[in-house]
């Protein structure tokens, strides 16, 4: 009988959920959902010095924001240390592991000698068959795996293909340290086995770990999960992804105004393809995702492509939902508290009314918020540098006349305001643009905004007339 699919995402809580981790989690989640299985979450917190609760919180929060839901309770690796030790003792009792009493100085000398001779195997196996009675007094031994000395260790990887290591080049890896704490290598294997993980999907920086971990599986007589090692994400120039390229936490993308659905869609296409399709609903991703379509070469992060995709998702999102998303964004940006203080039923309604014009221009929620700034602005408006250049004595006089022309508009709407402005321009012998630009600056403080007649409608008669009076000569 085929085992039900179980994948896992196993981050180390030494920092935020970075973008590569977000993609790994997404791939695991999609594969599990496609096959009707489970994706488990394991926090690998065995590094007690560097693991922090804020990092754990950031990982959980980042996954939830991305819309990646794991199954069951979160497993914390450190809490399972007794179980890891139990397996090491089992291997020791079966003669498949041994106690190593090499001192730190001896190990350093071995490594230096091996490197000088160009050997990848750094430990010389000197305690494999030595009598423990020869051990130094009061020395706490490590427990090492008695790895095979000949033959090959082979991984049939779903992305990388068949990967082979010569056993003569692989060390007898440490399972338990001298203080009794289990190593990462042992803990991962025991946890994956005990959690019934069937598929390990992770970055290809773990490929060498796969060889070492397979030797533990073999020693325990356990079934090896299916392996899929996905290439890492590089910057646009092909170099290792850095902060300037986008190697940021998922929380940073939220603060930059990206929609979770857009980021999910972008991440799924980083290294995986389904024909020429670029835009996927979540269900389409689940239905189409497979490990065989993941490329072997590193994916390149492209902010312009992400922005374009995000703009598409913004335009496809209904206006009320965008207002809700903007309110959420206020928790993560410096200007948030000041804008939140101005949020009322009136300004929310104005945001919804302005949204059709606002979302056509914005690639991020931050841009959307910035372009909606005229709704929250205090009087008299702060006029930006380009706007100041427009406000000459002549245009200020023109603004006074425009205000007079708008006073009698009834009912107040984009259409009636436009008709009044066109009539004014015609009678004054001016092009509409010569009227619209001073009007825009007086009402928004900028030379760019949504359609000026939409701005008039959104702000309402009283606010418009007041703002025009502030700037009129």
Mean pLDDT across the stretch 184-197? 97
Asked if residue 246 has pLDDT above 60, the reply is no
DSSP readout, 204-273?
GGGHHHHHHHHHHHHHHTPPPPEEEEEPPEE-TTSSBP-TTTT--BHHHHHHTT--HHHHHHHHHTSSB-
Model pLDDT, residue 106: 86
Q: What's the order of all strands across the beta sheet hosting 38-43?
A: 6-9, 38-43, 75-76
Residue 363 is labelled as binding a ligand: no
Phi/psi at 412 (5° precision): -85, 120
* The predicted structure's pLDDT at residue 244: 62
Distances in whole angstroms, Cα of residue 388 to Cα of each of 270, 437, 447: 44, 12, 9
Compute and round to an integer the Cα radius of gyration of the chain.
31
pLDDT per position as a tens digit, 6-39: 999 999 998 888 889 999 999 999 999 999 999 9
Mean pLDDT of the chain: 93
Q: What is the pLDDT of residues 445-468, one digit of tens each?
A: 999 999 999 999 999 999 999 999
| Predicted local distance difference test score (pLDDT) of residue 107 | 87
Please give the angle made by the CA atoms of 363, 364 and 368, to the nearest 5 degrees.
95
Handedness of CA 238, 162, 27, 309 (dihedral sign): positive
Tokens of 93: 């009792």
Report whether pLDDT(58) > 80: yes
User: 49-53, 96-100, 258-262, 266-270: which has the minimum mean pLDDT?
Assistant: 49-53
The per-residue pLDDT for 137 is 79
User: How does pLDDT run across 267-326, given as a tens digit for each residue?
Assistant: 999 999 888 899 999 999 999 999 999 999 998 889 899 999 999 999 999 999 999 999
Q: Average of pLDDT values for 80-101?
A: 96
Place of tokens 């007086």: 442
Neighbours of 441 (CB within 10 A): 24
Q: According to the CATH classification, is domain 80-230 in 3.30.1330.10?
A: no
Q: Which residues contact 193 (CB under 8 A, 6 or more apart)?
A: 217, 220, 222
Nearest-CA neighbor of 132 among 106, 107, 101? 101
| pTM for this prediction | 0.91
How many helices and strands in the chain, by DSSP H and E? 21, 12
> CA 376, CA 337: separation in Å to the nearest integer?
12
What was the pLDDT predicted at 245?
57
The pLDDT value recorded for residue 414 is: 95
> What's the gap between Cα 472 and its chain centre?
48
pLDDT at position 227 is: 97
Smallest CA-to-CA distance from 159 within 27, 23, 270, 296 is with 296
Q: What's the pLDDT at 89?
A: 96
b/e per residue 85-105 (b: at least 16 CB within 10 A): bebbeebbeeebbbbbbbeee
Does pLDDT of 155 surpass 80?
A: yes
Positive or negative torsion for Cα 288, 293, 294, 300 = negative
pLDDT at 334: 93
Helix, strand or coil, per DSSP, at residue 313: helix
Band of pLDDT at residue 123, cut at 50, 70 and 90 = confident
* Cα–Cα distance measured from residue 37 to residue 242, given in angstroms and rounded to the nearest whole number: 34
The angle, 0 to 180 degrees and rounded to 10, between the axes of the packed helices 81-93 and 184-194 is 100
157 pLDDT tier (thresholds 50, 70, 90): very high
* pLDDT tens-digit readout, 316-375: 999 999 999 999 999 999 999 999 999 999 999 999 999 999 999 899 999 999 999 999
Domain range 385-471, CATH architecture: Orthogonal Bundle (1.10)
Q: What is the pLDDT of residue 204?
A: 93
As a whole number of angstroms, the distance between CA 182 and CA 191 comes to 12
CA gap 7, 226 in Å, rounded: 10
Catalytic residue among 243, 305, 386, 431: 243
Determine whether 386 is an active site residue.
no
């Amino acid at each position: 009988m085929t085992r039900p699919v179980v994948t896992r995402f196993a981050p180390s809580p030494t920092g935020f959920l970075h973008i590569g981790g977000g993609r790994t989690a997404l791939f695991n989640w999609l594969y599990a959902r496609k096959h009707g299985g489970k994706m488990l979450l394991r926090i690998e917190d065995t590094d007690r010095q560097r693991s922090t609760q804020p990092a754990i919180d950031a990982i959980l929060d980042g996954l939830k924001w991305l819309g990646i839901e794991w199954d069951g309770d979160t497993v914390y690796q450190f809490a399972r240390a007794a179980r890891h030790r139990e397996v090491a003792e089992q291997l020791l009792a079966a003669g498949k592991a041994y106690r190593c009493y090499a001192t730190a100085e001896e190990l350093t000398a071995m490594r230096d000698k091996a490197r000088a001779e160009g050997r990848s195997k750094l430990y010389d196996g000197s305690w494999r068959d030595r009598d423990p009675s020869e051990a130094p007094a009061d020395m706490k031994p490590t427990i090492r795996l008695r790895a095979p000395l000949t033959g090959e260790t082979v991984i049939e990887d779903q992305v990388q293909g068949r990967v082979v290591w010569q056993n003569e080049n692989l060390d007898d890896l440490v399972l338990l340290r001298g203080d009794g704490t289990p190593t990462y290598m042992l803990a991962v294997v025991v946890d994956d086995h005990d959690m019934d993980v069937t598929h390990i999907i992770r970055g290809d920086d773990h490929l060498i770990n796969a060889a070492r971990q397979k030797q533990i599986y073999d020693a325990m007589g356990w079934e090896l999960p299916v392996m899929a090692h996905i290439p890492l994400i590089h910057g646009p120039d092909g170099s290792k992804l850095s902060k300037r390229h986008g190697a940021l936490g998922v929380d940073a993308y939220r603060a930059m105004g990206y929609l979770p659905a857009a980021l999910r869609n972008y991440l799924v296409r980083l290294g995986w393809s389904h024909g020429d399709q670029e835009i996927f609903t979540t269900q389409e991703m689940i239905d189409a995702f497979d490990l065989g379509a993941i490329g072997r070469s590193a994916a390149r992060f492209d902010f312009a492509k992400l922005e374009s995709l995000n703009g598409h998702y913004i335009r496809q999102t209904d206006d009320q939902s965008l207002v809700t998303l903007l309110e959420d964004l206020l928790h993560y940006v410096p200007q948030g508290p000041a804008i939140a203080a101005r949020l009322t039923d009136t300004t929310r309604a104005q945001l919804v009314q302005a949204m059709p014009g606002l979302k056509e221009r914005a690639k991020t929620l931050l841009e959307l918020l910035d372009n909606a700034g005229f709704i929250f602005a205090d009087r008299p408006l702060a006029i930006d540098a380009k706007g100041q250049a427009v406000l000459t004595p002549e245009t200020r006089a023109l603004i006074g006349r425009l205000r007079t022309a708008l006073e009698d508009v009834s009912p107040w709407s984009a259409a009636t305001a436009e008709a009044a402005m066109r009539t004014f321009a015609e009678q004054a012998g001016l092009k509409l643009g010569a009227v619209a630009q001073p009007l825009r600056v007086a009402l928004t403080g900028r030379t760019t905004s949504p359609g000026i007649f939409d701005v008039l409608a959104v702000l309402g008669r009283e606010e418009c007339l007041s703002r025009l009076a502030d700037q009129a000569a």
